[in-house]
Amino acid sequence: MKRKPRRWLQLTIVGVFLFGALPTTLVLPWRWIDPPTSSFISRARSEGFDVHQEWVDWDAMSPFLPLAVVAAEDQNFPHHLGFDIESIRSALEEDRPRQRGASTISQQVVKNLFLWPGPSWLRKGLEAYLTVGVEMLWPKRRTLEIYLNIAEFGPGVFGAEAAARRFFERPAKEVTARQAAILAAVLPNPKHLPAAKPTRYLEERVAWILRQMKQLGGPAYLEAI
């Protein structure tokens, strides 16, 4: 009977070690290695989509691209630690649709890279758990770089480079502020919001994003990350 506390202590130590080791094992390599695929890309292929994706480094993207997705999705991205508590509180309190969701770009990277879509407490728990790892192990710029390379901008179109070439016939490096805003505007529902032929709703969202990009101070807003 006297050995039970020692046994529980051993199990607790092992559990704590595994709890800390899992995000390190899953997350840390991608700080330096460009992910060759993602959970969402693999899912699209399994559903029969003709997938287009081409990795480009941060310096090979227009500075308007990261600014546009931050303006549209997560304006506190340079400052929070993976979770935007104020946006979560506002989302719970508001009845009307919001221009920006409560999920941060860090959370969306985790979901797109490692997990699956759909409302699930299990997925949300894993997402929060791995988001802590991303915030601890990746610089902010790397998080945003990966997001811009794996986000879906249209059916089977993943990453800013593939999207820029598909919708604007130019590389990501040459995307204008308006084109970046269009790509950011479709992110909530890329399979039904057409970047090639923006609807009235999409144009309104693009105009809002462009205003936010200007209010944030332009590309200089992200220079320090």
Q: Give per-residue pLDDT as tens, 148-184.
A: 999 999 999 999 999 999 999 999 999 999 999 999 9
Q: Would you state the pLDDT for residue 16?
A: 46
Quote the distance between the C-alpha of residue 62 and its chain's center: 17
* Relative orientation angle of helices 140-150 and 105-114, to the nearest 10 degrees: 50
The structure's pTM equals 0.87
Q: Is 2 within the bounds of a domain?
A: no
Number of domains in the chain: 1
- DSSP secondary structure code for residue 187 in this structure: T
Q: Is 107 within the bounds of a domain?
A: yes
- The pairing of strands 157-158 and 52-53 is parallel
Average pLDDT, rounded, for the chain: 88
Q: Is 39 within the bounds of a domain?
A: yes
Q: Would you state the pLDDT for residue 101?
A: 56
Look up the domain containing 80 and give its range: 8-222
CB burial of residue 136 (10 Å; 0-12, 13-18, 19+): middle
Q: Is 186 within the bounds of a domain?
A: yes
Q: Would you state the pLDDT for residue 87?
A: 60
Name the stretches of the chain with pLDDT < 70. 1-22, 85, 87-102
Cβ proximity of 121 and 9 under 8 Å: no
**C-alpha angle with apex 150: 175 to 103, nearest 5 degrees?**
100
Q: Is 201 within the bounds of a domain?
A: yes
Q: Is 189 within the bounds of a domain?
A: yes
Output the domain CATH number for residue 159: 1.10.3810.10
